[in-house]
Amino acid sequence: MLGQVFKKPQKRSVFHDNIFKEIEELGLKSIGIVAFISFFVGGVVAIQTGLNVDNPWIPKYLIGFATKRSIILEFAPTFMSVILAGKVGSYITSSMGTMRVTEQIDALEVMGVNTLNYLILPKIIATVFFYPFIVTLAMILGIFGGWVAGEITGLFTADNYIEGIRLDFKPYLVQYALTKTMVFAFLIATIPSYYGYYVEGGSLEVGKASTKAVVWTSVVIIIFNYFLTQMLLG
């Protein structure tokens, strides 16, 4: 399957158009949910850390530090990827599965189109190169959500929080998070595409394939997360 996917596109202009369409469908249309979840989860992480740091000997700036680390290392790349696996994965499987059962993929094949390349490669490129931006946005909004939570609850001051964010900032950790994101993005594009492309039957089977695709993409992301963390940080 991947051999055909990574063949040279048959028509460059059509391929470029498809990449932009996929960036819109799989990326831009996910920004709203990513922003919403990141902001609130960032706030919750900061509040919970604040509530648990009640020892007067522990400096308050650690709340900002812990929030930053949790968001950059795990929440933004992994948690967001699992959410995107649900939203985007089900979209990819159901749209491609519907094309399969209504013979639209056969129609493309009969025209002489390399359907694996035409349908899947733009999705891979769109996700692998666009999701790092989405995850960066999730990082920024998550940290911002933590700051807003501190302002509202009074658990910590803005100065403490910003000090914690600046403390021991390692650019490599952002690089690690974005590397993980690119691997997860590849999984989000390919696993649901596989389930959609090879579905057989009717609408019920398309629904079942969507569920399977989301479950397996999430499971594989979690497993890859473990090994990537060991490889890149261990």
Partner 1 sequence: MIEVKNIYKSFGENEVLKGVSATFEKGNTSLIIGTSGSGKTVFIKCLLGLFIPDKGDILYDGRSYVAMSTREKRLLRQEMGMVFQGGALFDSETVEDNIMFPLKMFTEQSKEEMLERVNFVLKRVRLENVNQKYPAELSGGMQKRVAIARAIVMNPKYLFCDEPNSGLDPKTATIIDNLIQEITDEYQMITVINTHDMNSVMEIGEKIIFLKNGVKEWEGSDKTIFKTDNKSVTNFVYSSNLFRKVREVYNK
| Interaction between residue 205 and partner 1 (CB under 8 A) | no
List the interface residues with partner 1, window 13-32 (CB under 8 A).
Answer: 13-14
Among 1, 11, 211, 222, binds partner 1 (CB under 8 A): 11
| Interaction between residue 110 and partner 1 (CB under 8 A) | yes
Question: What whole-number distance in Å separates Cα of residue 166 and Cα of residue 147?
Answer: 13
Nearer to partner 1, 11 or 29 (CB): 11
Nearer to partner 1, 13 or 230 (CB): 13
Site string for partner 1, 112-151 (x = CB under 8 A): xxx-------------------------------------
Site string for partner 1, 90-109 (x = CB under 8 A): ------------xxx-xx-x
Q: 188, 84 in Cβ contact below 8 A? A: yes
Question: What whole-number distance in Å separates Cα of residue 160 and Cα of residue 73?
Answer: 21
Nearer to partner 1, 76 or 119 (CB): 119
Nearer to partner 1, 106 or 151 (CB): 106
C-alpha to C-alpha distances, 167 to 50, 54, 64, nearest whole angstrom: 17, 20, 9
Nearer to partner 1, 74 or 109 (CB): 109
Q: How many residues in the shown chain lie near partner 1 by CB under 8 A? A: 15
| Interaction between residue 1 and partner 1 (CB under 8 A) | no
Q: Which amino acid is at 78?
A: T
The nearest distance, CB 118 to partner 1, in angstroms, is: 8
Nearer to partner 1, 123 or 180 (CB): 123
Among 8, 54, 111, 226, binds partner 1 (CB under 8 A): 111
Q: Residues interacting with partner 1, by CB under 8 A?
A: 10-11, 13-14, 102-104, 106-107, 109-114
